[in-house]
Amino acid sequence: MPAFQALNRLSAHELAARIAAGRATATAAVRDCLERIEKTDRRLNAFVRVDREEALEEAGRIDRELAAGRNPGPLAGVPVALKDLFCVKGREVTCCSRILEGFISPYDATVARKLKDAGAVILGSTNMDEFAMGSSTENSARGPARNPWDLERVPGGSSGGSAAALAADQTVAAFGTDTGGSVRQPAAFCGVAGLKPTYGRVSRYGLVAYASSLDQAGPFGKDVEDLALLLEVIAGHDPRDATSAPEPVPRYRDFLQADPASLTLGLPSRDTLKGMDREVAAAFRAAVDTYAALGAKFVEVELSSLEYAVACYYIVSTAEASSNLARFDGIRYGRRAPGVADLLELFEKSRAEGFGEEVKRRVLLGTYVLSAGYYEAYYGRALRIRRLIKNDFDSALAGCDCVILPTAPIPAFRLGEKIDDPLQMYLTDLFTISINLAGVPAVSINCGFTGGGLPVGLQLVAAPFREDNLIRAAALFEGATAHHLKKPALDDR
């Protein structure tokens, strides 16, 4: 492939190596991505804002640094996209909500700052479910994003724009947040790799909060090596985030080579995995067979509390959302309703006009479960169940390196198919939300396709701060298969 063509199709680690070796430039890589966005995003709606001039200016600066013999960092010249809830100084951040339209961030999120310091070029902001509340990116004030494998299907959510942009080669790397599966489920639906780090592994400073005890920023990559590289850059303690853990950050790329015989995987019982789509179940079984053929060992693990995870999650997360979103009141920033008579009317009209239906639903539910007379019956009980879920994972992971699960029980569904049925939408997160409740890390990788050509995700779960085990197990599978190399035929439509 010519050095200055189709750089957007490379993985992050491939592009970084080319630029560092002088076989490509940051400017050429950014131009390739911008051209791809221009060509495809009218169909995908993956980006809500493209900072074209700023990206080209930053790419030019990096090229000059490299020409002068200086090293701008491990991601020098790599174009990245950020979900529209990462604060980037001087740029609008809206969480794809009308209530935050026009808000210009006065500072960088820690993740954004670390990416800049590593030499990455931020292309712009990607589409998402409003305030990260959703599983399809249909709850966006900017309209739904679409799946590049089938434009009539959703890319997943809430970080669907980031996953779709990466799968379509509009960017070379992307970032999202994962509160109940919002990195892993879109990664599965779009056929890319996505990682949710341990809670506290990556700073939440500068991320607009949905549920503070569950939110965690994570990378999307075109392969597992990308995830290792990107996690090295963004992980680490941050004194500006009280929940950030003071744990050392290993060089995750050192774990890309593994002895299969040293890997033990925990396989849940069939009852735990009931409810899967037939083709998803077949792809999952094939993935288990692949690990077995490589020489990995298996042990059966018990995760009986998972059946309570959906109910538990939608109490804990909505309670925290009710508290976090109280700050959007039409006074300090964002949308302010005109022509109001008093303060109460200002609150009511600004929030009624600014929030979408799903956000209103979750705020109301969260307010209810925290209200006097109901707090203990709902929120208090949910916290106790959360502890049981955490205990289940602790017990399971004490006897294995990773637990192996499907990422989602179904492949990407059609636009509009579940938007009017919140319960069915919530159940698409069946296998992901328990990981956030437990605070443990997990990764989703492509493990095959349905008969209709839709990607299927495989999920690996590890003990707290053992992302090295995730990298080791995921890289082993990728090395034995070629699912992650397949690209959607977006240009043929």
Q: Which residues are catalytic?
A: 83, 158, 182
CA-wise closest residue to 14 among 3, 460, 111, 411: 3
CA 266 – CA 387 distance, rounded (Å): 20
CA-wise closest residue to 131 among 177, 162, 190: 177
Residue reference for tokens 């942009």: 165
> CB within 8 A of 102, min separation 6: which ones?
92, 334, 335
Q: By CB neighbour count within 10 A (0-12 exposed, 13-18 middle, 19+ buried), where does 383 fall? A: middle
CA 273 – CA 361 distance, rounded (Å): 29
> CB within 8 A of 381, min separation 6: which ones?
none
Residue reference for tokens 């992050």: 12
The answer to whether residues 374 and 368 touch, using CB atoms and an 8 Å cutoff, is yes
Q: CA Rg, the chain, in Å?
A: 21
Instruction: Compute CA distances 15 → 33, 158, 222, 479, whole Å.
Output: 12, 27, 12, 20
CA 51 – CA 376 distance, rounded (Å): 47
Q: Can you say whether residue 344 is alpha, beta or left, with left for phi > 0 and alpha for psi between -120 and 50 degrees?
A: alpha
